[in-house]
Amino acid sequence: MLKIYIAAPYRADTEDGVFQNIIYARSKARQLFQAFGESVCPFVPHLNTAFMGGLVPDSHFLKIDLEWLQYADLLWVAGELSAGVKMEIDFAREHRIPIAWNFHEVRAHVERDRDAEAGHSQ
């Protein structure tokens, strides 16, 4: 099962904008489940801290995201390159976590993972 961290902007100028960003990121997890079923384990950091702004500094939420990212098999850049997404990309590069820039690349990673798992079970 491929652990896929979904990177997309969270912050916005309005609460409605934040809500739309959360829905967008969630839709990417849904897309993964619809395409690959039980072969994937998506992580949507947006859902982990949704609407908790002000409880701790934003920088702490970003640290939490990176704590989760270190366990990912793949970082999927599924949206615009916000400051947070750029930080996630830099972290993935530093920790040699593969990066997918589009759904086609995600599919290739999932298929390689499936093939590797099938080879181990034989």
State the Cα–Cα distance between residues 117 and 90, nearest whole angstrom.
28
Which phi-psi region, left, alpha or beta, contains residue 4 (left: φ > 0; alpha: ψ -120 to 50)?
Answer: beta
pTM of the model: 0.91
Phi, psi of 100 (to 5 degrees): -110, 130
Domains of the chain: 2-120 (3.40.50.450)
State the Cα–Cα distance between residues 72 and 119, nearest whole angstrom.
21
Summarize pLDDT for 18-52 with one digit per residue, the tens. 999 999 999 999 999 999 999 999 999 988 777 76
Summarize pLDDT for 74-84 with one digit per residue, the tens. 999 998 999 99
**Would you call 7 helix, strand, or coil by DSSP?**
strand
66: its two tokens = 């990176």
